Amino acid sequence: MVWTGWVNETRLAARSIAAYATDWASPTLRLGVTGLSRSGKTVFITALVHGLLTASRWPVFEAQAQGRIARVRLEPQADDGIPRFPYEEHLATLTARREWPEGTRRISEIRLAIDFASNAGFMRGSSKTLTLDIVDYPGEWLLDLTLLGQTYAEWSRLAIDAARRPPRAALAAEWLEATATAEPFGRGGEAEALRLADAFTRYLKSCRDERVSLSTLPPGRFLLPGEMEGSPALTFAPLDLAGRVPPADSLAALMERRFESYKRLVVMPFYTRHFATLDRQIVLVDALAALNAGPAALADLEVALADVLTAFRPGANSILSSMLGRRIDRILFAATKADHLHQTSHDRLEALLKRLTDRAIRRASFAGAGVDAVALAALRATRETTVTRRGESLPCIVGTPLPGERAGAETFTGTEEVAVFPGALPADPTALFDGPDAFRGEDYRFVRFLPPKADPTQALPHIRLDRAVEFLIGDRLA
C-alpha cells in the first residue's frame, strides 16, 4: 500500500470525516474506472451510464431486475475543477459513427442519481437515493503511485535494468546509447536534460506499440502529459549512478530534483485529490492484446497488475475506517473484449485473467476487500454462429472487422460482416507463463471489430456488464 506521510494521511482522514457526515444523510459511492491504454475504459463507462439511464434488461443486476429502481438521472458533478466525462459525445461516436472513441487521456467524472426502493430489513419499501460518482483515469497514472516509495537512484536502476532485457533492449537502444554518452556527475544543463528526456520518452512510447504491448511504463505522464507537457517536472530520465551520491550542481542532481518534483507536483495531488477518495474500483485488462504481442507482453502485464494493487488502500470498510480514511472495499478485475472470442472460450479468458491477477487478488483479499474477476464486453461487437467446413463444425463469431485487420491471408476492408473462427484459449493458462517459448508455436491473434449497429435509445448489446454492475454497486442498492 502507498503511504504518503503523516501530513497527507491526516488531511485524508479529515476529508473522510467530512464525507462520512455527508454520506449519512445523502449516500454517495465513488467508483474508480481504470485500466492501461486501450483496455476499454471509455466504452465501459459509456455503456454503464447508458444501461442505467435506459433501464436495460440486466438480469444479474438485482435492483433493476426486481423493479426496485424508480429512476436514474444525470446530475451536475460536485467538483467544478474536474472535466465532465463526455458521455453524450462518446455514445454518438459509438452508435451514430460506429467508431471507437478516443481513449482516456486525463481524469474526468460523471455523476448519476439512482432513486430506488430499499429491500433491506425495516427499511424495506422505503424510497432512497444513491449518488454514484464515476471517476475515469488512466491506468498509467495509477502505476505512478509506486514511484512514491522509490528514490531516484532506485527508480533509475530498475528502469535501466528492465531496458537492457528483451524485448525492451531493442526498443531502448537509442535511449541507452544516449545515456551511455551522458556524464551524470558533470555539470547539468537544460539541453542535456531535454536530450535524455526526449530519448527516454520515445523509448516508453515504442513499448506501447501493439506489436510488443508492454505495460509497466512509469512515469505515466511521459505518455499522457496533459497540461504538464513541456514542464521541467516532465524533463528528466534515469541515469546510472553506480551507487555514488551526485554533486549538487551535476546533471544527476538536476534529474533527481525533477524526479522528486514529479512525485510532489503530479503523483501526490492525483493520489490525495482523486485516488484516495474512491470506494470501489474496476481495473480493465486487455489480456488479448498481450496475447497478440507474445509471452513477454503477457509476463509484463502480470507485473503491471501486481504493481497496480500496491497503490490501493484495500480493506473492509467500517464506521471507523469510513471516518478516518476511506478504503476501496471492492475491486473488480475485468478482462475486456470477450466478444472477440466465442463463448466457449469465455471461461478460459476469465481463468487467464485470474492467473494474471493471482498475486494482486491474494493481496487484496487478505486485506479484507471483496475481489472478483470477470470476462466481459461492455459493448458487444459480434454475435455467434457455427460454420461447417470440410464436415467439421467450427464455433465462429460474426462482426465487421476494423479496416486492415487480417485473418490468415485475408485482409478486411471494414465494409462488411464476416464470420471469423477466433480459435480457442488453452484450458490451463499456466503454460502461457513458462518463458519466451511459452506459446509453443501457437499464434494467439484476435481480429478486432467495429462497434455494432445500435440504436442509442435502446439497450446496447453486452457480455456480463450486468454482473460487473451488480458486484460494484448492487449491495448499495439493497
Q: Each residue of 111-121: pLDDT tens digit?
A: 999 999 998 87
Q: Check residue 139 and give its pLDDT.
A: 84
Please, are residues 107 and 136 in contact by the beta-carbon 8 Å criterion?
Answer: yes
Q: Check residue 24 and give its pLDDT.
A: 45
Mean pLDDT of 293-308: 88
Classify domain 6-137+274-380+458-477 at the CATH topology level.
Rossmann fold (3.40.50)
Q: Check residue 25 and give its pLDDT.
A: 47
12-21, 223-232, 332-341: which range is least confident on average? 12-21
Task: Examine the pLDDT at 467 and tell me if it is beyond 50.
Answer: yes
User: What percent of the chain has pLDDT above 70?
Assistant: 91
Instruction: Output helix, strand, coil percentages for the chain, rounded to the nearest 5.
Output: 45, 20, 40
With bands split at pLDDT 50, 70 and 90, how would you rate the model's confidence at 204? very high
Of 98, 84, 74, give the one whose Cα is nearest residue 456: 98
Task: Examine the pLDDT at 56 and tell me if it is beyond 50.
Answer: yes
Compute CA distances 274 → 21, 79, 134, 148, 240, whole Å: 19, 11, 11, 16, 34
With bands split at pLDDT 50, 70 and 90, how would you rate the model's confidence at 1? very low
- How many other β-carbons are positioned within 10 Å of the β-carbon of residue 58? 21
In angstroms, the CA 427 to CA 431 distance is 10
Give pLDDT tens digits for 304-337: 888 877 777 665 544 333 433 567 889 999 999 9
Q: Check residue 273 and give its pLDDT.
A: 87
Where do the domains of the chain lie? 6-137+274-380+458-477, 143-269
- Residue-wise DSSP of 191-260: HHHHHHHHHHHHHHHHHTSTTT-------GGGTS-GGGTT-GGG-------TTPPPPTTBHHHHHHHHHH
This prediction has a pTM of 0.89
Q: Check residue 278 and give its pLDDT.
A: 92
Please, are residues 97 and 71 in contact by the beta-carbon 8 Å criterion?
Answer: no
Q: Check residue 319 and give its pLDDT.
A: 35
Mean pLDDT of the chain: 88
Q: How many residues does the chain have?
A: 478
Give pLDDT tens digits for 155-203: 999 999 999 998 999 999 999 999 999 999 999 789 999 999 999 999 9
Q: Check residue 317 and give its pLDDT.
A: 45
Task: Examine the pLDDT at 456 and tell me if it is beyond 70.
Answer: yes
Please, are residues 254 and 188 in contact by the beta-carbon 8 Å criterion?
Answer: yes
Task: Examine the pLDDT at 366 and tell me if it is beyond 70.
Answer: no
Give pLDDT tens digits for 397-450: 999 999 999 887 889 999 999 999 998 898 899 989 888 888 876 777 789 999
Compute CA distances 238 → 106, 194, 256, whole Å: 25, 12, 9
Q: Check residue 441 and give its pLDDT.
A: 67
